[in-house]
Amino acid sequence: MTDNEYLAKILEEQTLETGGSELKDLNNRGKEVKDLLEEHFTKCDPTIRYGGSKAKGTMIKESYDLDIICYFPRDDEDAGKTLKEIYEETEAALKDDYFVDRKASALRLREKATETTGGLDFHIDVVPGRYVKGDTGDVYIYQHAADKDRLKTNIEKHIGHVKDSQVIEAIRLMKLWNVRNGLNVKTFVLELLVIDLLSGKKSSTLTSQLTHVWKKFRDESKSLSVKDPANENNDLSSVLNAAKPGLEMVARSTLSTIENSGWEAVFGKLQDSDSDANKSLKLEVAATAATTRSKPWMA
């Protein structure tokens, strides 16, 4: 098996099966949330749909979320006159059925604890907002506990930017690398980095693409930059700068590992091969990652 065939197998293992239990459960939970929001906002006409990795096609089994957007028309004030009121009213619509954790712009849902469960994470984030004009296009979302209380964005541009990048497989493997090494790099920023760095290597092999990205992280971390395709005024520099030391250090270690021990030492043995050894290798990789972990990124 070649290195590229091995990486393709890793991607297969990280794919949520269409009829599999994980994706089925996620879809069912998503429908429950959508129904709750529609029942609560009967006087409104919100746009409720999926975003995030599910919409972009970048989901991986090891770490996946379902973003549910709940955007209100510009002139609809029944859900709240301000973004903060919309955010809080969306939280109110969900808190009777879920534990709701406030994130920067999203509401993270967990199961309410029972005698047998301790608050299962449903992998679901609800992102409320209001369209800038009418009921399509750019949207303002609330920024909880931030200096600026709103952020202008556009989910369609985000989804299109990633889906049309022609480097989806490389993005998924970089997300897995991010998780396995405990970097906690904000997914959106990592996607933008990969797309930008591979703009001239869309037809290259996976091994070449990943190696190229890691060399850029290792050798040119200080000059790395990204732009939000939906809002050029959205300054991502502080988030990216906080992650650069970790990206540089782990990329250096990864390239050395590949040179000395091969790709399996980075992503682990395939599940079809020695499962006990695979578990042992994953534990070893996790232990190594813990010693090189950078400060977690903001939520």
* For residue 236, pLDDT beyond 80: yes
Backbone phi and psi for residue 278, each to the nearest 5 degrees, phi listed first: -65, -45
Q: How far apart are CA 194 and CA 128, in angstroms?
A: 27
Tokens 């009967």 map to which residue? 42
DSSP-assigned letters across all residues of 159-193: HHHHHTSS-HHHHHHHHHHHHHTT----HHHHHHH
How high is the mean pLDDT of the chain? 88
Is residue 68 a contact partner of residue 50, using CB atoms and an 8 Å limit? yes
Q: Name the more confident of 133 and 276.
A: 133
Chain segment 156-205, per-residue pLDDT in tens: 999 999 999 999 999 999 999 999 999 989 999 999 999 999 999 999 99
Helix (H) or strand (E) holding 107: strand 107-110
Task: Tell me which residue of 268, 213, 243, 233 sits closest to 62, measured CA to CA.
Answer: 268
pLDDT value of position 255: 98
Chain segment 16-66, per-residue pLDDT in tens: 888 888 888 888 999 999 999 999 999 999 999 999 898 999 999 998 888
Chain segment 103-152, per-residue pLDDT in tens: 989 999 988 866 555 667 778 999 999 999 988 899 999 987 666 788 99
pLDDT value of position 278: 47
Tokens 């529609």 map to which residue? 38
Mean pLDDT of 211-231: 95
What's the CATH class of domain 21-154?
alpha beta
pLDDT value of position 65: 84
pLDDT value of position 282: 47
pLDDT value of position 132: 95
Domain boundaries, the chain: 21-154, 165-291
Residue 285 one-letter amino acid: V
pLDDT value of position 144: 77
pLDDT value of position 122: 77
Chain segment 81-92, per-residue pLDDT in tens: 999 999 999 999
Backbone phi and psi for residue 201, each to the nearest 5 degrees, phi listed first: -130, 35
Share of the chain above pLDDT 90, in %: 72
